[in-house]
Structures are given as structure tokens and as C-alpha cells.
Structure 1
Amino acid sequence: MALQSMTGFARLDGQTGRHQWAWELRSVNGKGLDVRLRLPQGFERLEAEARRILSVRFSRGNIQATLSLQSGESKVEAVVNQAALDAVMALKNQLAAVIDPAPIRFDTLLGIRGIIDFKDSADGQDDMAALDAGLLQAVERASAAMAAMREAEGAALAAVLLAQVGAIEKLTLMVETDPSRTADQIRARLEAQVATLMEGASGTLDRDRLHQEVAILATKADVREEIDRLKSHIAAARDLLQKGGPVGRKLDFLAQEFNRESNTICSKSNSAAVTAAGIELKVVIDQFREQVQNLE
């Protein structure tokens, strides 16, 4: 399943019957999925289904979906008020003895208020059902177009994130292989520190006890566990990026773990080279976490 960025846009125009419409979808970063719809008055009935369509397609992001609708000219139809016409004809028959018996002319009927009315013909039930179906099919297609854009950006983000994971791995190996962590270097450094302490110390200083304390401090300063955890997090991050799908939250958690281990390495370090690598680790991890915020 492809990675998706949370940033995307799509617009789809079309026409159904006498109605011209346009769907416009926008998506930006969000902690969860927040779908907001702006529909023309009278089309609120589409909201639930449109929201469902978008929720199936996307799992994270602030999405705004706007429907614009314009209706073309409608047909004009004449409506006869049958009751009023019957009343006029009944009155004519009633007055047949005193008025001209000739049939009533059509233009005369047009002049009588209430007999014939002209109005726009409204869309029938079938027309409105076809319009609703067309609009919902359109939002489905628009969401697919926006998903394609988000996937394209997700692929570009994946390349950046994999490169950053590679940089984190390289810096982790630099810390692991730094000469200051070899047994000979540790032994020489501890011996020099003990010798320095013994030179200025009184005769009451227990040399064996001093060696024990220095060994304990050396053990506490070891970053082997942090290196192992970083390697485990690196493997997990690569697995998630290759697996794809909505993995943004998991990668964000790993970024926090990366940062925690790099902080510990810097605090334990007794080597300038290890400290420098730890600081560079923090920089790359911060860049990694910033990019992860854009992933679904």
C-alpha cells in the first residue's frame, strides 16, 4: 500500500441535466481525519454519504470539500386552474340569456386572472435522484484524484525519509565504532584518571576501591544499549516505509524514540567525536520528525 502525504488538491467539473457542478477538495496536515463539507442550500441530504466516501478513502488530514452548483434555464409551462375555469364557464351558462352566446375566446381566458398561470417547471423526482447520484459519483472520482496526488507526494517523502534513516544509521555506526569505545582506549583512559587521582591523594585512598568506582562509572557511561535500540528503531522505520499505508503516527513515535536515544548518548559521552556524532544525530532526527508530520 502506497504512502500518502496529507497535502492534496483536486477539482472536478461536470453537468447533470440542466445543472452544472464542480467539486473542489483540499487536504492539509491534521492529527486525525477532519472532513468539512460546504454544500449549496437544499443539498444537505448529500452530506452523510459524501462524508462516508471521503472517510473510506482517507484516514488522516483536514479535508475541505466544496460543491458549487449552477442551474441552467428551466422550461416554462402553463398551468390551468381547473376550478377557476369551471367557475367561469358555469357563470357564462348562468348568464346565457343576457350575454353573447358566442364561445369564449382564448385571449379572453388569458386576460382573466387566476385561470392560467405560467411558472418554471421544477425538476421531477427522477431528475433529482439522477443529480444526487451524479454528484456522489463525482465526489468519489475527485477523492480518487486527490488520493493520487497525495500518493505522489508520499512517494517523494518516502525517498527523503529513507535517506534520513540512512544518515541516522551511518551516525549510529560512527558512535559504535569510535576508537574511544575500544577496550584498550577505555583501559588507558581509566588508568590515566586513576593515576592522576592517586598522585594528589593522601595515603588513606584505597586504590582497589577507586578502581571499582571507576569501573562502575565506566559501565554507566557505556552506550551499547542505546546503539542497539537505535539499530532496532532504524529497522522498524525502514519496514514501515516499505510497508506503506497510514504509518505516519508510528513513524512519529519512532522519531521520538530516536531522539531519546540520541539525548542519552550525548549525556553519557566522554569523547568529543561521540558527542559530535550525537549532536548530528539530533539534527537529522529532528529533520526526520518534521517530514514525518506530513505523512498520513
Structure 2
Amino acid sequence: MIQSMTGYGKVTIAYKEKKINVEIKSLNSKALDLSTRIAPLYREKEMEIRQMLAAALERGKVDFCIWIDKDATLDATPINGALMENYYRQIKDIAARTGIPEPQEWFGMLLRMPDVMAKTEQEVLDDEEWMAARGAIGNAIEQLQDFRRQEGAALQCKFTEKIDNIAALLSEIEPYEKMRVEKIRSRIVDGLNKIREVEYDKNRLEQELIYYIEKLDISEEKQRLANHLKYFRETMEEGHGQGKKLGFIAQEMGREINTTGSKSNLAEMQNIVVKMKDELEQIKEQVLNAL
């Protein structure tokens, strides 16, 4: 079954005092175009994350983001009390020795001193948290793949409808094709009959008519187009990852329809060819989204 390259997945899990958020979005692209935004704590795992995404998503323009939400009460920058007391004692000692007046607003001044409000501890990623984050990434990927499968099913219904329409239009050409041959023959003979002073060999005329009509024959184009329609249907059932192949088949279908149009010197047939081109153009637009 077809899968679309369009997809979305988002997962949020709770881990101790924090929430781990993972969001993945994908759109159509000729190859895998992956961009990531990774929280600093998980940067060391970027290559592993990229490998997970590449293996699961195969193709598309993919935006990946993982970030952490923490409880504001737990994430507040701690005050370094010991350092603050040390600054206080030093300033009082200097004031006593030099006679410089002590500050009126001690607390505000001490909080502005270097490193009093600085975080000194560095968070380290442990195996337990990484397994939780990795599980969230896997769930987000699965959500995106489910989205792709749903979109792919809708695409397949659309393709089937358009292929059926082209097949129906192809069958409409046959009556006009037979009519066309008789019209060509009658037009040429009538034209020659109007030129009374010209004598012509009827056998030679018949040979030339056969040659001319053979050049306008579209039997091979019709057969090849029917084969392409069948191949397109079969390819849709092969599984995902057939988007490029479907695009190539659509191009071949276009060649046969164009040749049929160039050989159709009957207005009714040309009108049918225009309708076929319209149906095919809609297939070409949507096949760009197929994985």
C-alpha cells in the first residue's frame, strides 16, 4: 500500500520532575532532508537519533525537535549562600579598614556579585532517562508513520479514481477512431472528384490511403497506455516506497497520451485526449507526495 511523505507525530512523557517532549513533522522531498533541534542534555545522542529517523522514515523533508519542560520551582537558579556570606565579610572588613561607608542595600548588592546566582552543577544524561527519551522518540515516529499510512490510503483512492477515469476515456476513443478513417477516406476522394481534369489511379490512391491511415493509427499507443494503467495499479499494491516508480510510470502514460493527441485529427478524439491529460496531471501532482 502507498504511504504519503506528509506526516506528524508528537509525544510527551513524564520523567521524574520533568516532561520530555518529542515532535516530528515531514513533507515531501526527493530524498531524506533531516533537520533537528535537540535539547542540550540529549545532544550527545544526536547521531543515534538521526539513525533512528533515517531507518524509519526513509524519505521526506523531516523536522525533528526534542525539548524538556521542568517545574519552575525546581528549575530556579540556586543562590550560593556560602559565597554570598564570604562577599559580605570581605566588604565589611574593607569598610572597617578604609573607613568607606558600608552599603545601604546589602542584599541587592550581594546578589549582583559574580557567581552568586550562577549554576555550577552540570546535568548529566543517565541511561534510565535516555531510555525514556528514546521510547518517546519511537512513539512519535510510530504516530508519524500512522499518519503517513492514512494519507497514503487517501492518495491510493485518488489514484485509483483517476486511473479508472483515464481507462474509461480510452475506451471512448474507439468509436471515433473507426469514424475517423472513413472521414479521411471520404474527404480525400471528394477532393479529388472536384478536380475533374485530374485523372488518378484508384489502386495507387488506395495504397496511399492505407499508408496515410497507418501513420495515424493509434492502436499501439492505446495498447501501451492500457499496459501502463495496469502497471500503475500493480505498483500501488507492491508496498510503500514506490513513489518514484509511480512517477516514472505517469511520465510514460503522458507520452502515450500526447502521441495519441498528435495523431488525432478529429475534434471529438482531441477533446477526449484533453480530458485524459487533465486526469493525468492530477496524478502527477499527487504522486510527488507518495513515499
TM-score range, shorter chain: 0.7 to 0.9
* Contact 1:33/1:63 (<8 A) preserved: yes
Deviation at 1:167, TM superposition (A): 0.3
TM-fit CA distance, 1:206: 4.4
CA–CA separation in structure 2 for the residues paired with 1:229 and 1:5: 28
Q: TM-score, normalised on structure 2? A: 0.78
The residue type paired with residue 155 of structure 2 is L
Bigger radius of gyration among the two? 1
Structure 2 distance, partners of 1:203, 1:167, is 48
Give the aligned partner of residue 266 of structure 1: 261
The equivalent residue for 2:55 is: 56
Within-5 A mapping of 1:90-129:
123=123, 128-129=126-127
Q: Residue 153 of structure 1 corresponds to which residue in structure 2?
A: 151
1:253-291 alpha-carbon deviations (Å, 9 max, x no partner)? 111111111111111012222111111100111011112
- Note the C-alpha offset of 1:192: 4.1
Pick one of 136, 159, 181 that aligns with 2:178: 181
Q: How many residues align?
A: 251
Q: Which residue of 2 aligns with 1:216?
A: 211
Q: Deviations over 1:221-261 (max 9, x none)?
A: 01101100111011111112222311111111111111111
Q: Is the 8 A contact 2:22 2:67 kept in 1?
A: yes
Structure 1 residues 201 and 218, CA gap change in structure 2 (3 angstroms): farther
Unaligned runs of 5+ in 1: 81-118
Deviation at 1:197, TM superposition (A): 2.3
Q: Which amino acid aligns with 1:172?
A: L
Check the 8 A contact 1:32/1:60 in 2, yes or no: yes
Q: What is the Cα deviation at residue 46 of structure 1?
A: 1.6
Q: CA RMSD in A?
A: 2.6
1:34 equivalent to 2:33? Answer yes
Asked if 1 retains the 8 angstrom alpha-carbon contact of 2:41 and 2:123, the reply is no
Q: Is the 8 A contact 2:176 2:268 kept in 1?
A: no
SS of the equivalent of 2:40 reads: coil
TM-superposed deviation, 1:186: 2.3
Alpha-carbon contact 2:9-2:144 (below 8 Å) kept: yes
More displaced stretch, 148-157 vs 67-76: 67-76
Q: Which amino acid letter does the alignment assign opposite residue 16 of structure 1?
A: Y
The match for 1:239 is: 234
- What residue in structure 1 maps to residue 130 of structure 2? 132
1:20 maps to: 19
Distance in 1 of aligned mates of 2:59 and 2:175: 42
CA separation in 2, counterparts of 1:237 and 1:180?
A: 25
Q: TM-score, normalised by structure 1?
A: 0.76
Shift of 1:188: 6.0
Paired amino acid for 2:60: G
Matches within 5 A, 1:219-230: 219-230=214-225
Instruction: Please tell me whether the aligned partners of residues 74 and 121 of structure 1 are also in contact (alpha carbons under 8 angstroms).
Output: no
Percentage of matched positions with identical amino acids: 27
Matched, 1:276 2:271: yes
Partner residue of 2:89?
none
Q: Distance in 2 between matches of 1:198 and 1:66?
A: 80
Q: Structure 2 CA distance, aligned partners of 1:16 and 1:201?
A: 99
Distance in 1 (alpha carbons) for counterparts of 2:43 and 2:50? 11
Per-residue CA deviation, residues 120-159 of structure 1 (Å, 9 max, x unaligned), is 76556xx622222222221111000010011111111111
